[in-house]
Every structure is written in C-alpha cells, then in structure tokens.
Structure 1
Amino acid sequence: MPMHWRELLEASRPLLEQQGRLYRKTKNVLARKALAGEQVFTATADGKETKNTAQEGDYIVRNQTEAQEEYIVPGGKFAEKYEWIAEGEHDFDEFRSKGRIIALELTEKNLQELGLSEIFYFVAPWGEEMVAKIGDFLACPLDYSELYRIARKEFFETYRPYS
C-alpha cells in the first residue's frame, strides 16, 4: 500500500523547510467548471500521473505546457488560487495563479534520506495514487496543508523562483 500524502509530508517537511524554495506559477492556466462525477486522467510528458473525479463546484484546470495536463481543483481552492484573465475557447477561460508554493527537488540524496526509491507512489490529497520520480518536485502551499508531485518537465515549464 502506498504511503499517504500526510505521512510523506510529515517525513519530508524538514527537507521542505531546510532545502525547499519558494516558487510561483508564471504560466496562466485554462479552466472550466467541471461536471459532478467527471473523471480526469492526468498525464505529463513522462506518462500517467494520477486520476481524480470531480465533485459539484470543482474546476478542470489545464496547464499550458507541452503535455497540456489537466487536473481537478475544488471550487473553494480554485477561487483562492486563481484570478480570471480572459474568456477562452471551448468553455475554458484563462486564469492567472495568485499563489506561491514551496517545492523540493527529489534528488538521489533526498530520496535516500526519505527512504524512497527512484520511482514511488503515494496517495494524493484526492485519494488516488500519484507517481513521483527522481528529478520531480514535491510541492505544497505555504501553510503545508497538502502535498503533491509536479513532474520535472512541467515544473520548469510553469514555475519560476519567487524572490
């Protein structure tokens, strides 16, 4: 059974606090209201990442990366994280990220310190398995309220250090 994200956060928090850096999402996203029960399979350039099922009020967010990965954000969190920029096509409007994250690169040393293999799975905040690989990033909001993976290629396509 994969580790729960809360366990992974507890184990990785000292590393996040010591070595993690502040980043901001610099690429705008496309988003639309989800249909309750709608399933989203998130795939990055290196393959399937996770899946999730939308609840009433959730949003489907599409990153403007080469992979155009989609994921679900709960309605309340969406309003906190994004601001509307412009109308888009096919029901997807453009939004700008308002927040920052703390992110830690999964180096060989960090993985060894955490007792994790180069490819591992954990149960994400939405209750589904999520893959993480050496070179990817573990990320969380500034309040450490959740933890998730951002694939390496997509991380560098969308995030920049915050200063």
Structure 2
Amino acid sequence: MIRQQDMLHFFLPIIESDGKTFKKKTLIKAKKAVPGTLIITRTNDGDETKNTAEQGDWLVENQTSSSEQYLIKPKVFEKKYSFIQSLENGWGCYQPKGTILAIKITPDHLSKFGGTDTVKFEAPWKELTVLRVGDYLVTPPEKDEIYRIAQKEFGETYEEN
C-alpha cells in the first residue's frame, strides 16, 4: 500500500502544475452519522473504500447514479457545505461551496507506482482505497490530503471552475 504522505509528495507538484480547479455542481444529502457505523463507499466501478463513523462525523450521500456515501469530519463539513432544507429521517439538503484541485489519472501516473490499471493507496482516513486510470486525484485548497474520485462520479458531480 502507498502511504498518504508518499501520494502527496509525488502527486502534489503534478496537481499544482497540471491540475484544474473544479467545484461541485450538485447538491448533497447529509445527516449526522451514528458513531461506530461502518460506511462502505461504493461507486459504479465497485467498492472504493470504507470508514467507521466517529462522534460528530457527517454521513454524506452524493446525488449520482451510484448514490455513493462517505463520512466527513465536522470542521471539514462546515467548510464545504451550507444548509438548504431539512429532509426526512434526519437528512438535510446542502449546497456545496469551495473548490478542489484535480488531475485525471493516466497510465503514466500509475506506472510510477508499479501499476498499469490500478494502484492502492492510503486514504486520508487511514483506509485502503483504489485509484484507476481515468479517475481523478483530488486535493482541497489546503493541499494537506489527497484522495480519489471515480471517473463517472466525478463527471456527475464536478465542473471546471
């Protein structure tokens, strides 16, 4: 497994020079997560990663064809989303705010880590995640972490800023 710090060290200069700024173009659903709940993020190409909810975490559901779910820490959630309205069963509708910096992954990127179609690396939440050719590698404005967004879901949720 490739460590998060190694991914940042290698890809951050590439993202800074070749990346583009994107913003989320779709609303999200979110609610407070139940501590101890295991969330498996599933995209159209399969299981992406997993994470266990801690006190205060938010469960986010993107409005994509796969309705992928993931967890976000409270401070990050407050930075990234604004409340719009309440929904059923504790869910709320939220407007994304802010931007990300991203690159689309090529075979050449993966070959640096010995991969041809995929590589596995440590996500910011310390779990294994997979990166495939065509996916997007993303960093927030703080450039303190790096994570994957699957190609199909990226196209359904992001637009160039």
TM-score (normalizing by structure 1): 0.95
Unpaired runs of at least 5, structure 1: none
Amino acid at match of 2:74: G
Equivalent position of 2:158 in the other structure? 159
- CA displacement 1:39-82 (0-9 Å, x = unmatched): 10000000000000011000000000000000000111111111
Counterpart residue number, 1:4: 3
- Using the size of structure 2 for normalisation, the TM-score is 0.96
Partner in structure 2 of residue 67 of structure 1:
66
Please list the CA deviations of residues 85-144 of structure 1 after superposition, one character each: whole Å capped at 9, or x if unmatched: 111122211001111000010012333356543211101111110011000000010121
* Alpha-carbon distance in structure 1 between the residues aligned to 2:144 and 2:83: 24
For residue 24 of structure 1, give the secondary structure of its aligned residue in structure 2: strand
- Using the TM superposition, name which of 65-74 and 100-109 deviates more: 100-109
Structure 2 Cα separation of the partners of residues 35 and 113 of structure 1: 39
Matches within 5 A, 1:9-158: 9-113=8-112, 115-158=114-157
* Contact kept in structure 1, 2:110 and 2:119, CA below 8 Å: no
Give the partner amino acid of 2:86: E
**Identity among equivalent pairs (%):** 37
Question: Quick check: 2:43–2:68 contact (8 Å CA) kept in 1?
Answer: yes
Provide structure 2 residue ranges, at least 5 long, that are not aligned to the other structure: none
Please give the alpha-carbon distance, in whole angstroms, between the structure 2 residues aligned to 1:7 and 1:109.
17
**Structure 1 residue runs of 4+, over 4 Å off?**
none
Structure 1 CA distance, aligned partners of 2:59 and 2:159? 23
Q: Number of residue pairs matched?
A: 161
- Match of 2:111, SS state, is helix
Judge conservation of contact 2:110–2:118 (CA < 8 Å) in 1. no
Q: For the aligned residues, what is the CA RMSD? A: 1.1
